[in-house]
Amino acid sequence: MTSATALRRNQNITRNKLSFQTGPFSVGLLLLGFVIVLSLLYLNQITKTSVFNYKISNLQNTQANLTTEKQKLQIEAARVQSLAQAKANATSAGLIKTDTVSYATAH
Amino acid sequence: MLPKSRPSLRLFGVAIVFAILWLLAVGKLFYVQAIQGKEYASKAIQQQSRKFDIPAQRGLVYIKESDGLYPIALNTEVYNLAVDPKFVKDPGKTSDEISKIINTPSDQIIDKLTANTRYAEINKAVSSEQADKLKSLSLPGVILQKRASRYYPEADLFSQVLGYVNDDGEGQYGLEQFANSDLSGTTGRYNTVTDALGVPINSAENTLIDPKDGKSYVLTLDRGLQQVASDALKAAVDGNKAESGSIIIMDPSTGAIKAMVNYPSYDPNNFRNVTDYKLFSNSSVSSLFEPGSGFKTITMASGLDAGKVKPETTYNDTGEVVISGKTIKNAENHKFGIQNMTDVIQKSLNTGVVFVLEQLGGNPKEITAAGKQLFYEYLKKFGLGKVTGIEQAGEVSSQIKPPTTYDVDYANMTFGQGISVNSVQMLSAVSAIANKGVLVKPTIVAGTLDNNGDLIPNKPEVVRSVISSDAASKITQMMTQVVEHGSGWMTRMKGYSIAGKTGTAQVPRADGLGYEANKNIGSFIGFAPADNPKFIMFVRIDYPKVDGFAEVTAVPAFSTVAKELFKYYQVPPSGN
């Protein structure tokens, strides 16, 4: 008997079909897992949103502070350029007012 | 067959009861959701959402300088300082601490700290530095509320032109009130869903309407000229022991106001300390007065334009003229005999301008209805009888009597009595003469800034041609004689041709019965160089307590400022 014949003789002629059965417990477990995954995703998004909100809030505060700072600087700049300040500076620098102006004549 | 068991019946009964309960529940749900749904939804929205106003930034006000723009009205933040006396633990110590920081006597504060109220305001404008110091002390019961405010770096220099912004953010007087809607912009709004504590939460239902900041204005005023005019005016008012005064300088070809000052004035940064509310008004536009002899220029210009008189036209000045039984005399009872029209302006003869009115009617012996009508039409053409439209709150219209009124009233109007104008109207009317007969609308706004900060300029607004260029030239020549040989001599300057006219006006009594005995308003209106004017200026001194006419009270101030204006415009003296 050849080896090929022997193989044929030992060959299964029936095949058992693989079956995957889910009972109530496993379905419940799967659903629970699914809910947990979704919850984690949701929490992740909420956390991200909160972080972004916090960043936006911080940026808005920074913007407001900068606006206030800019206003203060504008005021200070205007104050030091005011005529009253200029007069005081001119006096302290010993500057005097010109009374006469001479005009160059074009030829 | 087995009989029905009792458990089945009970089960059936329970099912029926549950069914009824279910139906009731469904019915209630339907009632709540379908019928009362809208009402509950709106209540839910009210509970779960809040609206936040987002204030717009008020526009700034600038003036042009050689190196860019200089702000004369800026935004800042101040704090309302208040207390809730219920929470104040040690009023004595608290008032001392506050007193040191805000420089207010402690005894003025302690009353607020012990008041029987839940909210007592101490100061409406605490600076952010002072607020920081107060915050650092953590005083119980002390309340600090931040709000927007204005800062005016030039203090009183532009006060009455600008006005101020009150504690409610509303512009008051001047440009701040006139352009309040433009300057204040549009408030934004944030509608947001909130949590149980009212804190906004991120939601797709949130809506945001961005605020629209106010427009920023650029004025035609010049800071240096404003200061020069202010100093000269203060000296004139104080020197003449006068009550008040005004100086306005304008470019006659564009109508751009270069300076507009009144004295006394106030500091708009401290408007709360002002007790005399008259100081808030810009009297250059809000105060009417009888212009007096300065108005003769208008009468003469009308006669020249109508072709009824010429500079060399003569009449016999007997020192008085009788109109409808009432005698009108020259000032100080002067009489000069045969005089021409240039003499009328140079010597400021009341009888001479009455003569012009008679000529306007075509009858050299009396005032006619036609003459009054024509004169009235000229006054209207000069822009009198209505506001000029300058960008200032509270401009008061001049008053002109209609031609149907008495002849003597019109005779008086020819030399500026019985007619009232404000200073800008007077300046504007005479500027038509300086501008070769063309009336231009006076303005203090050079333009507004766009989003990039670039100037969108306003164009000069030509109102109308009032008189011919020839008539304007003739009256200008007459006005130069006032400076060369008449009452304007104190502003005579070598090498400069100045056209002008003085006016010393009586002040009507409040009861309408004649004029005040010892009150007058001295004024001088002039422009230079006369043949090609760079500026026109009006000086007004109210109720001086020194002897003399406008040549003493108003002309020196004009002269002082005119000297600076020639330097400013770099006008060299001519060789003549």
Task: Look up the CATH number of the domain holding residue B512.
Answer: 3.40.710.10
Kind plus residue range of the DSSP H or E element containing B528: strand B515-528
User: Which chain A residues have a beta carbon less than 8 Å from that of B224?
Assistant: 83
Question: Can you give the pLDDT at residue A24?
Answer: 85
Q: What is the distance between the terminal CA atoms of chain A, rounded to a whole angstrom?
A: 136
Whether B255 contacts B438, CB under 8 Å: no
- Interchain proximity B74–A75, CB inside 8 Å: yes
**Per-residue model confidence as pLDDT tens digits over B467-503:** 999 999 999 999 999 999 988 888 899 999 999 999 9
User: Which residues, 6 or more positions from B165, have their beta carbon under 8 angstroms from its beta carbon?
Assistant: B58, B149, B150, B171, B172, B176
Selection from B437, B406, B426 nearest residue B540 by Cα: B426
Q: What is the pLDDT of residue B42?
A: 83
Q: Do A71 and B77 touch (CB under 8 A)?
A: yes
Determine the Cα–Cα distance for residues B189 and B178; give it in Å rounded to an integer: 26
* DSSP one-letter string for B116-138: SSS-EEEEEEEEHHHHHHHHHHT
Average of per-residue pLDDT values in chain B: 92
Question: What CA–CA distance (Å, rounded) separates B260 from B246?
Answer: 7
Determine, yes or no, domain membership for B330. yes
The SS3 call for residue B493 is: strand
Tokens representing B324?
């409808």
For residues B102 and B81, the answer to whether their CB atoms sit within 8 Å is yes
Exposed / middle / buried, residue B77 (Cβ in 10 Å: 0-12, 13-18, 19+): middle
Element (H, E) at B29: helix B6-30
- DSSP for residue B32: I
Instruction: Provide the H-helix boundaries in B54-105.
Output: 91-102
Q: Do B151 and A49 touch (CB under 8 A)?
A: no
B94 compared with B195, residue with greater pLDDT: B94
Number of domains making up chain B: 1
How far apart, in whole angstroms, are the C-alpha atoms of residue B293 and residue B432?
17
pLDDT on residue B196? 77
pLDDT of B510 reads 81
E strands along B161-305, which residues? 164-165, 171-172, 188-193, 207-209, 217-219, 244-250, 257-263
What's the confidence (pLDDT) of residue B122?
92
Beta bridge partners of B150: B75
Q: State whether residue A78 sits within 8 Å of chain B by CB.
A: yes
Residue at B236 is within a domain = yes
End-to-end CA separation in angstroms for chain B: 145
**Which residues in chain B touch residue A68, judged by CB atoms under 8 angstroms apart?**
77, 128
Select from A66, A67, A81, A98 the residue whose CB has the most chain B CBs within 10 Å, as the one to mutate to test that interface: A81
Residue B269, both tokens = 């940064």
Note the pLDDT tens digit of each residue in B243-262.
999 999 999 999 999 999 99
pLDDT of B51 strictly over 90: no
What is the average pLDDT across B348-366? 92
CB contact under 8 A, A71 and B71: no
CB B539 within 8 A of CB B498: no
Cβ-based neighbours of B451, under 8 Å, separated by 6 or more: none
Cα separation, A83 vs B266, whole angstroms: 16
* Per-residue confidence band for B3, with pLDDT thresholds at 50, 70 and 90: low
Tokens 């209609």 map to which residue?
B402
Supply B361's token pair: 């009617």
* Cβ-based contacts of B70 with chain A (< 8 Å): 78, 81
Given the DSSP bridges, would you call strands B320-323 and B326-329 parallel, antiparallel or unpaired? antiparallel
Q: Which residue of B has its CA nearest to A106?
A: B572
Question: Can you name the residues that pair with B148 across neighbouring β-strands?
Answer: B77
Read off the pLDDT of each residue in B260-278 and give the average, rounded to a whole number.
Answer: 94
**Tokens (6 digits) for B224:** 């240096």
DSSP, collapsed to helix, strand or coil, labels residue B154 as coil
To probe the interface with A, which of B202, B216, B226, B496 has the most A CB atoms within 10 Å? B202
Cβ–Cβ < 8 Å for B329, B276 = no
Residues of B in contact with A75 (CB under 8 A): 74, 76, 151, 153
Q: Which residues of B touch A74 (CB under 8 A)?
A: 71, 74
Position B66 scores a pLDDT of 85
What mean pLDDT do residues A52-64 have? 89
B417 found inside a domain: yes
Chain A residues with CB-CB distance to B75 below 8 A: 71
The proportion of chain B whose per-residue pLDDT surpasses 70, expressed as a percent, equals 98
CB atoms within 10 A of CB B210: 11
Does A70 contact chain B (CB < 8 Å)? no
Residue B8 belongs to some domain of the structure = no
B505-525 average pLDDT score: 86
Does residue B488 form part of some domain? yes
Cβ distance B445 to B217 under 8 Å?
Answer: yes
By DSSP bridging, strand B188-193 and strand B207-209 are antiparallel
Query: Which of A46, A74, A87 is the best mutation test for B, with the most CBs of B within 10 A?
Result: A74
Per the CB < 8 Å rule, is A71 touching B157?
A: no
**Full residue range of the structural domain in which residue B235 is found:** 223-568
For residue B58, being part of any structural domain is answered with no
Lowest mean pLDDT of B3-17, B111-125, B359-373, B429-443, name the range. B3-17
pLDDT surpassing 90 at residue B365: no
Q: Is there a contact between B193 and B206 (Cβ–Cβ < 8 Å)?
A: yes
Q: Is B553 exposed, middle or buried (0-12, 13-18, 19+ CB in 10 A)?
A: buried
Q: Is A103 on the interface with B (CB under 8 A)?
A: yes
Within a domain: B464: yes
- Quote the DSSP letter at residue B35: I
Taking residue B519's Cβ as centre, other Cβ atoms within 10 Å add up to 16
Cβ B384 vs Cβ B425: under 8 Å: yes
* pLDDT reported for residue B399: 81
Which chain A positions have a beta carbon within 8 Å of B72's beta carbon? 78
User: In this structure, is the dihedral angle defined by the CA atoms of residues B393, B515, B371 and B317, taken in order, positive or negative?
Assistant: negative
Q: How far is B439 from chain A (nearest CA, A)?
A: 33
The answer to whether residue B63 sits within a structural domain is no
Highest mean pLDDT among B79-88, B472-481, B565-574: B472-481
Quickly state the pLDDT bin for B309 (edges 50, 70, 90): very high
* Mean pLDDT for the stretch of residues B362-371: 88
